[in-house]
């Protein structure tokens, strides 16, 4: 038995595709066979399996479990829930790995698999290995058992254990994603006043797309906060590992701004520790961490890469612009948007200020949203190298952690290749609109020198 995956489905951080086109039950079965074989060869024998609320998830789950057991691994199914609930199961149950079936924040016809292998992220080379083993039919044979574990209440209890004081009036938008049932249980435990939106799991996402980093998806939450005069609002992506937030005035509090608030209690408890953010984060965040006595560390974008760096540096907290926030202080070191929500309530209570006041106190910076430039897959990394070479020859102040992040008197700009799509991603930030225009002109100039023109999809 051998199996060929669609090459587009084997991504850097997970396996993902369009159901019926680039992903189906045969792929799920082959993932199970490969993952189980690798786990057994590493001395493991039991895997937790969870799924999100997509229509295709039960069928993919059945095929995945079939593959895992056929290669001799026992399976504990935890059922429907957010990705961090699977990470929690992998951390606390007697298992050696975990797989969540989820399409994350992609449209409803997508689905995929996020994996944990013996308490570490499974990505990059690991995923390519699953593809290679399938092509060669290099799978162990065996007969594993299947059982079920109902852990949602335990998980909610663990989230609530992170709560410390403060009664707030909060709006919660689960976007019909897999976090909905957890949000409903959690708000019953939290003091204060809570109003929820779209907590019923619906594979069609009838109200809005479940991606809280796009401001248009926060329109209903803004309306709720305004109508009920709430303190702030929280939103989650389709599988509950990314958080979005708005203050009492309806202004978005972006991922790096949330991290600057969450860093305060963390650094009080662990003075001088390292806090990690990705290369897309504002300079304001790095300055704020330093001001609080922490060691800011700029690292590569990507949840698996950040988790790996956290383990290496012993960082208690890390985050990405995209709303993935990772806690190792008093938690398990993975990205959990529901835990981040509870920790945000705690951080505001510790600070004794509202989210609106915290947002007001942040330096007034102007920045671009992510600008995306479609390029040929074979050229995307090469273009970034060409840009880096030209910049270094010109004596520019460049950080090469993940692409090119260039510091100038006007602020900074970033150009990096996406790990998951055939695009270059750019971003810029300045103290003034004039400064921002100059930074964007630098990006355009460098791209033009490498033969890339700003397309209509680039946005501004």
Q: What is the CATH number of the domain that holds 139?
A: 3.40.120.10
Among 34, 62, 56, 33, residue whose Cα is nearest residue 103: 56
For residue 14, is pLDDT > 70?
yes
- In a domain, residue 385? The reply is yes
Q: How is the beta sheet containing 243-246 ordered, strand by strand?
A: 193-197, 169-173, 232-236, 243-246
Q: Is residue 78 part of a domain?
A: yes
Q: Is the pLDDT of residue 456 over 60?
A: no
3-state secondary structure of 264: helix
What confidence tier does 166 reach under pLDDT thresholds 50, 70, 90? Answer: confident
Q: How is residue 396 written in tokens?
A: 């520019």
Which pLDDT does position 459 carry in this prediction?
39
Amino acid 161: pLDDT = 95
Q: Are strands 325-327 and 317-319 parallel, antiparallel or unpaired?
A: antiparallel
pLDDT mean over 324-339: 96
- How distant, in Å, are the alpha carbons of 269, 274, 276, 363, 396 from that of 409? 35, 27, 24, 16, 11
The answer, yes or no, to whether residue 284 has pLDDT greater than 70, is: yes
Mean pLDDT value of segment 405-428? 93
Per-residue pLDDT for 334 more than 80? Answer: yes
Is the distance from CB of 60 to CB of 51 less than 8 angstroms?
yes
d(CA 3, CA 26): 8
Assigned domain for 114 exists:
yes
Other beta carbons within 10 angstroms of residue 119's beta carbon come to 16
- Return the CATH number at 403: 3.30.310.50
> Which residue, 121, 150, 179, sits at the end of a domain?
150
- For residue 99, being part of any structural domain is answered with yes
The pLDDT of residue 454 is above 80: no
Q: Provide the pLDDT for residue 74.
A: 98
pLDDT at residue 356 is higher than 80: yes
Q: Is residue 315 part of a domain?
A: no
pLDDT reading at 455 higher than 70 = no
DSSP string of 312-340, one letter each residue: HHT-SEEE-TTS-EEE-TTS-SEE-HHHH
pLDDT at position 457, please? 44
Q: Is the pLDDT of residue 85 over 90?
A: yes
Average pLDDT over residues 227-247: 97
Q: Supply φ then ψ for residue 71, to 5 degrees.
A: -105, 20
Residue 266 pLDDT greater than 50, yes or no: yes
Domain end point (choices 150, 172, 201): 150
Q: How confident is the model at residue 223 (pLDDT cuts 50, 70, 90)?
A: very high
Average pLDDT score, the chain: 95
- Is residue 246 in some structural domain? no
pLDDT higher than threshold 50 for residue 209? yes
Res 11 pLDDT > 70:
yes
pLDDT (mean) for 146-166: 95
Measure the CA–CA gap between 355 and 408, rounded to whole angstroms. Answer: 31
Q: In this structure, is residue 187 part of a structural domain?
A: no
Task: Establish if 239 belongs to a structural domain.
Answer: no
Reference 168, options 345, 340, 342, 341; nearest CA is: 345
**Pairing mode, if any, of strands 232-236 and 243-246?**
antiparallel
Mark which of 112, 131, 150 sits at the end of a domain: 150
Total domains in the fold of the chain? 2
CA distance 235 to 254: 12
Mean pLDDT within 325-338: 96
Q: Catalytic residue positions?
A: 104
- How many residues does this entry show for the chain? 460
Residue 378: which domain range?
A: 366-458
CA 141 to each of CA 40, 74, 112, 122, 254: distance values in angstroms, whole numbers, following the listed order? 10, 13, 24, 22, 48
The tokens describing 299, both together, are: 């690292």
Q: Name the band, by pLDDT with cuts 50, 70 and 90, for residue 116.
A: very high
User: Residue 427 pLDDT > 60, yes or no?
Assistant: yes
Tens-digit pLDDT profile for residues 36-79: 999 999 999 999 999 999 999 999 999 999 999 999 999 999 99
What percent of the chain stands above pLDDT 90?
92
| Mean local confidence (pLDDT), 86-107 | 95
What does the buried/exposed string (b/e) look like for 234-259 if buried means 16 or more CB atoms within 10 Å of the residue's CB? bbbbbbbbbbbbbbbebbbbbbbbbb
Per-residue DSSP letter, 192: S
For residues 201 and 234, give the distance between their C-alpha atoms in angstroms, rounded to a whole number: 17
Tell me: the pLDDT tens digits for 167-201?
A: 999 999 999 999 999 999 999 999 999 999 999 99
């Amino acid at each position: 038995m051998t199996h060929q995956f669609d090459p587009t489905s084997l991504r850097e951080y997970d396996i993902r595709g369009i159901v019926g086109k680039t992903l189906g039950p045969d792929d799920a079965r082959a993932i199970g066979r490969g993952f189980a074989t690798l786990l057994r060869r590493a001395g493991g024998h039991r895997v937790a399996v969870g799924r999100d609320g997509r229509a295709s998830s039960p069928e993919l789950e059945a095929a995945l479990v079939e593959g895992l057991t056929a290669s001799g691994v026992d399976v504990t199914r935890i059922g429907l829930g957010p990705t961090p609930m699977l990470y929690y199961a992998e951390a606390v149950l007697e298992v050696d790995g975990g797989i969540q079936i989820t399409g994350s924040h992609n449209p409803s016809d997508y689905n995929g698999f996020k994996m944990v292998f013996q308490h570490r992220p499974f990505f990059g080379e690991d995923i390519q290995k699953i593809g290679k083993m399938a092509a060669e039919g290099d799978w162990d044979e065996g007969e594993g058992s299947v059982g079920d574990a109902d852990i949602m209440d335990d998980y909610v209890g663990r989230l609530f254990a992170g709560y410390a004081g403060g009664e707030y009036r909060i709006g919660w938008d689960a976007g019909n994603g897999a976090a909905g049932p957890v949000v409903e249980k959690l708000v019953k435990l939290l003091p204060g006043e809570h109003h929820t939106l779209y907590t019923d799991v619906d594979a069609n996402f009838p109200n809005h797309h479940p991606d809280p980093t796009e401001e248009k998806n926060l329109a209903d939450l803004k309306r709720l906060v305004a109508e009920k005069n709430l303190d702030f609002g929280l939103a989650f992506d389709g599988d509950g590992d990314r958080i979005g937030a708005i203050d009492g005035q309806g202004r978005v509090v972006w991922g790096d701004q949330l991290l600057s608030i969450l860093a305060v209690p963390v650094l009080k408890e662990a003075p001088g520790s390292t806090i990690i953010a990705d290369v897309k984060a504002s300079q304001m965040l790095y300055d704020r961490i330093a001001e609080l006595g922490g060691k800011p560390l700029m690292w590569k974008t990507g949840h698996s890469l950040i988790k790996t760096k956290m383990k290496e540096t012993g960082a208690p907290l890390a985050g990405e612009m995209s709303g993935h926030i990772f806690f190792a202080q008093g938690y398990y070191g993975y990205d959990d948007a529901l835990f981040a929500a509870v920790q945000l309530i705690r951080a505001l209570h510790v600070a004794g200020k509202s989210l609106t006041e915290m947002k007001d106190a942040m330096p007034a910076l102007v920045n671009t949203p992510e600008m995306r430039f479609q390029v040929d897959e074979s050229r995307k990394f090469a273009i970034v190298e060409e840009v880096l070479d030209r910049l270094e020859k010109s004596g520019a102040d460049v950080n090469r952690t993940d692409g090119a992040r260039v510091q100038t008197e006007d602020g900074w700009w970033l150009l990096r290749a996406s790990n998951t799509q055939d695009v270059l991603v750019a971003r810029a930030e300045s103290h003034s609109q004039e400064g921002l225009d100059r930074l964007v002109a630098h990006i355009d100039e460098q791209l033009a020198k490498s033969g890339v023109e700003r397309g209509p999809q680039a946005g501004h």
